[in-house]
């Protein structure tokens, strides 16, 4: 079975955008492929987080992914820093990574612009660490969004270059895996754009009923349709997109008809949307809270993950050491 690896950034709670845009597909993929998921805690050090924040966010992520349906018995879920072999491969890859090409990576250039006071070497070599994460398991596929495409190109380049330098056919080039042909964009409730943590418009899977309701009732709308069957402006389209994700077809059609015949009351639509988002999130939320309290189980998941990932990585590193010329 093809191997799939995916890193999870430890950046706060999961929101509906993360769920529908990524996690839901991970849950499906674990049945179809030989999947491994890891929490990219080494990557997160580029922004110098506080130690207690790292610990807390690892726990949060674990609980949330488990609550969404990742089964650690099927797909190991490990913490990157538990697998030291990754660092060794990172070092070998860095020896063959050139300053010029690393500096040209778009996400690096963006970071330089955004945080000119913290342009560290970890940021520069982010693509080689990501390549090490993937190549250490000789993964076939990596589920990534558009923003990671260039890093995937670098991973393929580093794999090819390693093979060429050492005159071996060792690493295969990992493919980017796209969940669907049409990328899902979960919109925010502020009239335009996507839902996101940094956009400040996210509905989190752990949000309670009152919080969800407050967020949805504040959603941007307009003064209503002025013509029969008119096209919906973006803010209204966004509400319907969310409705499509969490409600049944009947409910969606009911409000769509009301919009088209100009009888819609946005207050009713929002109440329904809030109620359906809550119905969708409530069981996940309950599981998140349960998992978060079950420290023993979380530790077990991390241990199982570390063991599976270390086994796979150790085999690669042993072979790579031979190729490079070490014992």
| Near ligand AMP by CB under 6 A: residue from 7, 10, 21, 225 | 21
Is residue 185 part of the contact set for ligand AMP (CB under 6 A)?
A: yes
- The answer to whether 287 touches 67, Cβ cutoff 8 Å, is yes
Q: Which residues contact 175 (CB under 8 A, 6 or more apart)?
A: 140, 141, 142
Minimum Å gap between C-beta 105 and ligand AMP is 17
Is residue 7 part of the contact set for ligand AMP (CB under 6 A)?
A: no
Nearer to ligand AMP by C-beta: 71 or 147?
147
Taking each helix axis from N to C end, the angle separating 234-246 and 249-260, rounded to the nearest 10 degrees, works out to 160
Minimum Å gap between C-beta 64 and ligand AMP is 12
Contact region with ligand AMP (CB under 6 A), list: 14-22, 47-55, 58-66, 308-316: 14-22
DSSP 234-301: HHHHHHHHHHHHHS-HHHHHHHHHHHHTT---HHHHHHHHHHHHHHHHHHHHHHHHHHHH-HHHHHHH
| Near ligand AMP by CB under 6 A: residue from 145, 224, 267, 283 | 145
CA distance 289 to 95: 44
Contact region with ligand AMP (CB under 6 A), list: 9-17, 224-232, 265-273, 309-317: 9-17
Q: Which residues of 22-60 are buried (b: 16+ CB within 10 A; e: fewer)?
A: bbbbbbebbeebbbbbbbbbbbbebeebeeeebeebbbb
Is residue 196 part of the contact set for ligand AMP (CB under 6 A)?
A: yes
Residue nearest to ligand AMP (CB): 21
Question: Is 3 noted as a catalytic residue in this protein?
Answer: no
Nearer to ligand AMP by C-beta: 201 or 310?
201
Is residue 9 part of the contact set for ligand AMP (CB under 6 A)?
A: yes
Question: Is 214 noted as a catalytic residue in this protein?
Answer: no
Is residue 57 part of the contact set for ligand AMP (CB under 6 A)?
A: no
Minimum Å gap between C-beta 14 and ligand AMP is 8
Is residue 18 part of the contact set for ligand AMP (CB under 6 A)?
A: yes
Structure tokens at 256: 């769509």
> DSSP secondary-structure letter at 22?
I
Contact region with ligand AMP (CB under 6 A), list: 11-19, 87-95, 97-105, 106-114: 11-19
Handedness of CA 65, 71, 75, 80 (dihedral sign): positive
Question: Is 249 noted as a catalytic residue in this protein?
Answer: no
Is residue 194 part of the contact set for ligand AMP (CB under 6 A)?
A: yes
Nearer to ligand AMP by C-beta: 186 or 306?
186
DSSP 5-21: EEEE---S--BHHHIII
- The answer to whether 162 touches 191, Cβ cutoff 8 Å, is no
Strands (E), 70-191: 77-79, 141-143, 175-177
CB atoms closer than 10 angstroms to residue 88: 18
Is residue 288 part of the contact set for ligand AMP (CB under 6 A)?
A: no
Surface-to-core class of residue 62, CB atoms within 10 Å of its CB (0-12 exposed, 13-18 middle, 19+ buried): buried
| Near ligand AMP by CB under 6 A: residue from 195, 212, 242, 274 | 195
Query: Tokens 């191997």 label which residue?
Result: 3
Contact region with ligand AMP (CB under 6 A), list: 35-43, 67-75, 82-90, 181-189: 181-189
Nearer to ligand AMP by C-beta: 84 or 185?
185
> Which residues are annotated as catalytic?
111, 194, 197
List residues binding ligand AMP (CB under 6 A): 9, 11, 17-18, 21-22, 145, 184-186, 194-197
């Amino acid at each position: 079975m093809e191997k799939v690896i995916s890193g999870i950034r430890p950046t706060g709670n999961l929101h509906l955008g993360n769920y529908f845009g990524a996690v839901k597909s991970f849950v499906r993929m674990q049945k179809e492929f030989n999947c491994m998921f890891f929490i990219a805690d080494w990557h997160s050090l580029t922004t110098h987080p506080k130690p207690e924040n790292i610990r807390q966010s690892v726990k949060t992520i674990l609980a949330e992914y488990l609550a969404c349906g990742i089964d650690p018995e099927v797909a190991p879920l490990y913490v990157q820093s538990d697998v030291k072999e990754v660092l060794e491969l990172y070092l070998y890859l860095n020896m063959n990574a050139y300053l010029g090409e690393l500096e040209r990576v778009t996400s690096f250039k963006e970071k330089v612009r955004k945080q000119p006071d913290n342009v560290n070497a970890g940021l520069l070599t982010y693509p080689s660490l990501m390549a090490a994460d993937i190549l250490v398991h000789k993964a076939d596929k990596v589920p990534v969004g558009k923003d990671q495409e260039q890093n995937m190109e670098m991973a393929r380049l580093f794999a090819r270059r390693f093979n060429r330098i050492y005159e071996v056919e060792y690493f295969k080039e990992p493919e980017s895996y796209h969940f669907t042909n049409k990328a899902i964009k979960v919109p925010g409730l502020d009239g335009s754009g996507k839902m996101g943590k940094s956009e400040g418009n996210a509905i989190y899977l752990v949000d309670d009923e009152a919080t969800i309701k407050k967020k949805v009732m504040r959603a941007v709308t307009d003064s209503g349709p002025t013509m029969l069957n008119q096209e919906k402006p973006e803010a209204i389209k966004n509400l319907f997109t969310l409705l499509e994700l969490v409600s049944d077809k009947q409910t969606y059609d009911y409000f769509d008809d009301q919009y088209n015949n100009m009888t819609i009351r946005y207050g009713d639509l929002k109440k329904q949307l809030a109620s359906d988002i809550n119905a969708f999130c409530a069981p996940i939320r309950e599981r998140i809270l349960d998992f978060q309290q079950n420290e023993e189980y979380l530790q077990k998941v991390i241990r199982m993950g570390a063991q599976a990932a270390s086994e796979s990585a150790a085999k690669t590193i042993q072979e790579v050491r031979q190729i490079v010329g070490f014992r």
